[in-house]
Structure 1
Amino acid sequence: MIRTVLIDYDGTLHDSDSVLRDSLDGILGLRGDELYRIYLHEIHRGIVHKYYPERHDDLLFHCSLIYSYLRRPFEAPTATLFCRRFMEAEDRSWRDPIYFDDVLPALEMMKRGGLRLYLSTGRDAERKAEALERYAGKKLFEGVFSEPSIGHLKSKPEYYLAVLKSSGSKAEETVSIGDSPMTDIGPAKIIGIKTIWVNRRREPQPNQEELKPNYEVSGLLEAARLIQAINERLNIWPPENSF
């Protein structure tokens, strides 16, 4: 049965992609969607997550890798513009967040089912949770976890081991939901947590077996229904002792 749900924020609850695409438009002579694709898939996930996880939040480093990817000489003013636009977009996401339409129905469905919801993200977890709960007008999360509070990168199994210990959860009764195979799926799956990949972008499944999710869905409401179906098959919905 599933009792505890760990939910990612950016790309899962919050539509960060659209905000960043618009902000990066025109930089390096590229469309915003193309530059963001290079940043996210080729650089952030393809290089930084794998080889430089400690520089996960170093925007200037990401920008230098983008120049290398494009085989262009590094230009400090343009790199600074990229970083400034990126940070301005993140700031706007706090002031005027864009949540996916299925977020509140999905979270409310899981709450009604007695599931314990935790926000599980890389950084700024408290701020992100506060923004979403303010938008919802109610408390949604039992707690929040971030890399600074946990002391481990989310791309590492140690992050999820610490989350289980802190929340008093068992791996076999926990599911991790998110949009990133590198941070939401692989490191959680390796320690026995069930995983649901919210593939809103309709990306192909990862080639590496360890990054493949237990389940794949196209949205958060589908994930909520899947959890309900799993527990109903065990004749446990809501989960026992959930109230």
Structure 2
Amino acid sequence: MVPLPLFKLGSLFLRHISKYGANRIKKQAHDHARFRAFAARYGQMMHQLNMRTSVALLRDPEAERRAREKAEAPTVKTEAQTRREEEGKAKEQQKASPAAATTATATATTKQKTTPRRQPFQNIWTRKFRALPEDKAVDLFADVVGDTFILGVAVALILYEYWRSQQKPDSNKEQIEALGKRLDERDGALREAEARLGAVEEALRALRDAGPKKAVQASLGEAAPT
């Protein structure tokens, strides 16, 4: 009779129970006041981290470099065009009145000095994105904590199962060792049989060599009395 896999059934039961634990954590994140404030604060931090990571993965460094160079490039051409326009207006007004020409020149100088500033590029990891509503921040934190709880239970079960399998004796290894011992015994018996066979062959050779000598001695003994 095949034994029931009780450990696997128990691990499945614990994984199923861990889902209820995760849902309990999510419910407490909304109901408990202090836990809700804690979840809202760290949920906003997780949201900022998710947004920065997403932007860092999806951004195009080459396009940012071109945009930065374009933003930092001096506006010489625009200032030259503005100066030409102001000089043309000044000439037209100079023909009308010298006082108007002086005013136009002063206005052109003031525009050149007050060139608009461009907003510098911000580092993605220091950029602040728009915050989530409190409920969504709490949901985000609760989802992350619940999923982490389920994952932790699964990892703990896997590690325990691995440790348990390491503590068990390896049946295949035992069978291999038993076969090795039997093979060594067969090798020893084969060597003993070979040694016995060699001894028998030596005895046969000795008997074969001793047979003709005895026959000669017997014939000589019979011929001696006559």
The normalised TM-score by structure 2 is: 0.18
Bigger Cα Rg: 2
Q: In proportion to residue count, which structure has more helix?
A: 2
Q: In proportion to residue count, which structure has more strand?
A: 1
Structure possessing the higher relative contact order (Cα contacts under 8 Å, 6 or more residues apart): 2
